[in-house]
Structure 1
């Protein structure tokens, strides 16, 4: 028999646990971004320390422009998913989609999310590699050739089947399954929300304006 403490209603007795977000990123983009930032710091630092005339100011303007753009296109993109919503962090926008607002998740030449209202958002953090997709297709073809009648062992490992998918396609499939499973949850209701990343746009715009002014008066 289950007992409850005084003052605890039925809705408080069945609170579902909150789970951490699943995070999807592009490892290649992050490595590339780190290398580009290191190169920008090296070149910009040399110009600041040893440059003469307008060179230090040009270096500051170029860094103000380049660093936010490098971060926004390489380190910033990410996809966060939990049982209630999907949050897509793209270079210049963050889109929050409750699962009930998601109509479909697809992977063609890019990974995309479609809303019930017909809007489409790309997921920059889940890049599609046509080469990996072709290799995955060849693996599937070889597996089908080995078992032409489609028979599978009872003890077949599910992970082996998943490994035949390209990484982006596997991610899209996982997100689609989460959308179908969680769309009816009370916490998954609501409309899409879009927020512009002014913390990235503002410094890049300042750097671009400063760079144009310095080049004009040089």
Structure 2
């Protein structure tokens, strides 16, 4: 029996698949649920108990308002994995491969700038100036407490169990607002994957007709009711 001169290489395991990281605004979700509950309660009550044109006006208003509430509160989301950034905004879905991302920018809003020059806002990651100021104050207190610990430690001072005089712990690393932490995560993904083969492609934009269609129908129905009233 003959044996081969060399063995065929063992099959390589498939590349690991990275699940999407999903980012959404907890405040937007809570506000959306509350607004939908209020709109549903008032609208259904008007449809059931109203007289004359009131049920029709209430129905048209619901058809207009409900999609808009969904669009601006529950719908926005950002999904990111090793291949691309998928942005679901109120009226558009934008898919950006990492190779096409030029910049992830944070200012009064968070947005992605692609290499063609187009900019897309991240509705699901809203900027909170109050949260930034609060994080800056916490960072300043932590820095002051840490420097005070060093001075008093050299003098034999006594501290609480967390390391600061009041017993609180010193945060590891800089204190950041939640939206800024999310942008840091996205920048890390960009740096890690922008040059990989799987992150190549073109930017695609799709309009959310499932949101715009019902809203336009509700607006048209309201206009007809107003014109015939």
Normalization by structure 1: what TM-score?
A: 0.88
Shift of 1:142: 2.3
The answer to whether the Cα contact below 8 Å between 2:111 and 2:121 also exists between their aligned partners in 1 is: yes
Where do 1:1-218 residues align within 5 Å? 4=10, 13-147=12-146, 160-161=172-173, 164-218=175-229
Count matched residues: 204
Structure with higher Rg: it is: 2
What secondary structure, in the 3-state scheme, does the structure 2 residue paired with 1:161 have?
A: coil
The answer to whether the Cα contact below 8 Å between 1:62 and 1:207 also exists between their aligned partners in 2 is: yes
Q: Distance in 2 between matches of 1:211 and 1:2?
A: 72
Shift of 1:145: 2.6
| Superposition CA RMSD, Å | 2.2
Classify 1:70/1:2 alpha carbon distance in 2 versus 1 (closer, same or farther; 3 Å).
farther
Classify 1:158/1:139 alpha carbon distance in 2 versus 1 (closer, same or farther; 3 Å).
closer
Q: Residue in 2 aligned with 1:154?
A: none
Shift of 1:189: 0.3
Shift of 1:15: 2.3
Shift of 1:160: 2.8
What secondary structure, in the 3-state scheme, does the structure 2 residue paired with 1:212 have?
A: helix
Please list the CA deviations of residues 156-211 of structure 1 after superposition, one character each: whole Å capped at 9, or x if unmatched: x997325x100011101110110011111211001111100000000000000100
Structure 1 residue ranges, 4+ long, deviating more than 6 angstroms after superposition: none
The answer to whether the Cα contact below 8 Å between 1:107 and 1:168 also exists between their aligned partners in 2 is: no
Shift of 1:141: 1.9
What secondary structure, in the 3-state scheme, does the structure 1 residue paired with 2:120 have?
A: strand
The answer to whether the Cα contact below 8 Å between 2:104 and 2:111 also exists between their aligned partners in 1 is: yes
